[in-house]
A = this chain, B = another copy of it.
Amino acid sequence: MEKAYMLISCEVGGEQELFEELNEIPEVKNCIITYGSYDLVAEFVTENSSEMNQVITSKVRKLSKIRSTITLRVIN
């Protein structure tokens, strides 16, 4: 099992829409809006590390309201 947290900055005003899109991705186990240094935090769980890369590249970073992301991967 692979786990990661993603710190997301979104287009200003687009956080609600992005929040809903993220919640439709099965690998997103939790997602919150926060207005601190980042706009949203999302938790991802996948079977393995290559599936994680797949989710980040093909599903998350294609979403239109995302501006930048920092992915924090779990060290076991």
Contacts and interface: CB of A to CB of B under 8 A. Distances in A.
Interface of A: 3, 5, 7, 9, 12-13, 15-16, 32-38, 41, 49-50, 53, 56-57, 61-63, 66-76
A43 to B, nearest CB: 8
Contacts of A50: 76
Copies per complex? 8
B62 A76 contact: no
A10 to B, nearest CB: 9
A37 B34 contact: no
B72 A12 contact: no
Contacts of A38: 72
A75 B5 contact: no
Contacts of A63: 12
